Amino acid sequence: MFDRAEYQPYRPVVPPRPVQVRAATLLPTGRVGWGSNTALWARAQGLDAGATLHGRLLAWVISSTGRWFGLCVFTVTSSVGDLQVTVTQLVPGDEITPLLEPS
């Protein structure tokens, strides 16, 4: 009746599934308080953290309050594409959108 498999706080997704992640809520993009204008080089070469990013869902993890998080891997790039940072991060479940597998 109380199958232990039902109550696992960490649930791997095998194989990992393609997803979209709304990065703006994970990586806030507000300007810094000490400057009214962001330098052109920073706007061009800084990370575009406001984008919706494609990634892979590796697992689901539940918090002690019952909220589900997806363990996702995704790449954040700069506006011009010179800088790429691959991130593995817990993402709130409502910030993840599943994508169809390519046929």
For 4-33, the DSSP string reads: GGGG-SEEEEEEEEEEEEEGGGTS--PPPT
Number of domains in the chain: 1
- CA separation for the pair 59, 101 (Å, rounded): 17
> What count of other Cβ atoms lies within 10 Å of the Cβ of residue 5?
6
- CA separation for the pair 92, 38 (Å, rounded): 29
Q: Is residue 88 part of a domain?
A: yes
pTM of the model: 0.81
Domain that holds residue 53: 9-27+41-94
Taking Cα atoms as reference points, which of 75, 27, 78 lies closest to residue 53? 75
Q: Is residue 99 part of a domain?
A: no
Over the stretch 6-55, which tens digit does the pLDDT of each residue have? Answer: 788 999 999 999 999 998 888 776 666 555 577 777 777 888 877 789 99
Q: Is residue 102 part of a domain?
A: no
Q: Is residue 35 part of a domain?
A: no
